[in-house]
Amino acid sequence: MIRLARVGARKQPHYRVVVIEKDRARNGRSIEVVGTYNPRTSPASLELKRDRIDYWVGNGAQMSGRMAKLVSQPVAAQPAAVEPVAESTPAA
């Protein structure tokens, strides 16, 4: 199963996205850490290893409800760096 494991101080949640056996405790021993989620930033930051998530889903891992929502959200549009176009002059 792919789900969130809470880490961080009291009243300051920070989560790891982990691949773990379904019947283990929330913060039990995981198989692999495949990302992080921090809901305290504005907007919330989500870093995922998409290739590893696809690998585990392909091998039968199921996502928790919250993880399915987080993964399906569109990636926040990052402002692209605008480079000035250099004007070329024709060769004479």
Give per-residue pLDDT as tens, 5-36: 999 899 999 999 999 988 888 788 889 999 99
Q: What's domain 2-69's superfamily in CATH?
A: Ribosomal protein S16 (3.30.1320.10)
Rounded to an integer, what distance in angstroms lies between the CA atom of residue 66 and that of residue 88?
Answer: 52
List, for residues 39-55, the tens digit of each pLDDT value: 999 898 999 999 999 99
- Residues 48-65 have a mean pLDDT of 92
Q: What are 36's strand-pairing partners?
A: 16, 47
Look up residue 87 and give its amino acid: E
The pTM assigned to this predicted structure is: 0.73
- Cβ-count burial of 72 within 10 angstroms (0-12 exposed, 13-18 middle, 19+ buried)? exposed
